[in-house]
Amino acid sequence: AQTVTQSQPEMSVQEAETVTLSCTYDTSESDYYLFWYKQPPSRQMILVIRQEAYKQQNATENRFSVNFQKAAKSFSLKISDSQLGDAAMYFCAYRAQKLVFGQGTRLTINP
Amino acid sequence: EAGVAQSPRYKIIEKRQSVAFWCNPISGHATLYWYQQILGQGPKLLIQFQNNGVVDDSQLPKDRFSAERLKGVDSTLKIQPAKLEDSAVYLCASSRGGADTDTQYFGPGTRLTVL
């Protein structure tokens, strides 16, 4: 079975600084998709960024970028120029047949 | 474009009672998902519909949980009877199709507390 592991239950960063959230996954599939979702206190899951496993180029979305290491089964999220509105739970997710989520990392932004 | 709508936002019930949650997906989205998110964990898929047919319900506790999607639009998730361990946030999501390439869009969820 596919599993997703986020080893950092909590992270904090100073406003305007850069932070990296870690994620590893286990799969025997060769074709799959990886996602980072943000869940603020409102509970609504918001897609931050997605990566297709067949693409070697790392995905970027404005201040958000990923470091995708397929051989190592690693998929970290880098947030640059952190803003107060980035504070939330961040979930890494994997999808081959269905979406499987990690346990989440709570990100705190210090002003 | 309106997002995924869910109601109610909060529900408190006694154990052994019944409860139902409603979801209205984004217009035109063929695929609908129900997830259970226990406090401190990531969401877990309960059931996936493609139009009004069930694609995956392998993790749905069928002795107490049921779901339907009549007419391939709105969906209802029911728990009967509820147990203490059912306390969680129930998230509904929808996507345009059912392909792996499709992004899932989530609703605000229903927080269920079972006393």
Dump pLDDT digits (tens) for B54-66.
Answer: 999 999 999 999 9
* Residue among A46, A98, A104 minimizing CB distance to B48: A98
Is B48 in CB contact (< 8 Å) with chain A? yes
Q: Please state, in angstroms and as integers, the Cα–Cα distance from residue A15 to each residue in A66, A96, B110, following that order.
A: 20, 35, 32
The phi-psi region of residue A75 (left if phi > 0; otherwise alpha if psi is between -120 and 50; otherwise beta) is beta
CB spacing of B45 vs A32 below 8 angstroms: no
∠ CA B108-A81-B42, nearest 5°, is: 30
Q: For residue B1, is pLDDT > 90?
A: no
CB spacing of A44 vs B43 below 8 angstroms: no
- Residue B108: list chain A partners with CB under 8 A: 42-44
- Residue A47: list chain B partners with CB under 8 A: 103-105
Q: For residue B21, is pLDDT > 90?
A: yes
pLDDT band at B100 (very low <50, low <70, confident <90, very high): low
Give dist(CA A91, CA A65) in Å, integer.
15
Q: For residue B97, is pLDDT > 80?
A: no
CB spacing of A98 vs B45 below 8 angstroms: yes
Q: Please state, in angstroms and as integers, the Cα–Cα distance from residue B55 to each residue in A74, A98, B33, B50, following that order.
A: 29, 10, 10, 6
Residue to substitute from A6, A35, A43, interface B, most B β-carbons within 10 A: A43
pLDDT one digit per residue (tens) for chain A, 111 residues? 789 999 999 999 999 999 999 999 999 888 899 999 999 988 889 999 999 999 989 999 999 999 999 999 999 999 999 999 999 999 999 998 889 999 999 999 999
| pLDDT at position A91 | 97
Of B80, B115, B105, the closest CA to residue B3 belongs to B105
Give dist(CA B9, CA A93) in Å, integer.
24
Task: Count how many pairs of residues, chain A against chain B, have C-beta atoms within 8 Å.
Answer: 51
| pLDDT at position A81 | 97
- Residue A104: list chain B partners with CB under 8 A: 40-42
pLDDT band at B98 (very low <50, low <70, confident <90, very high): low
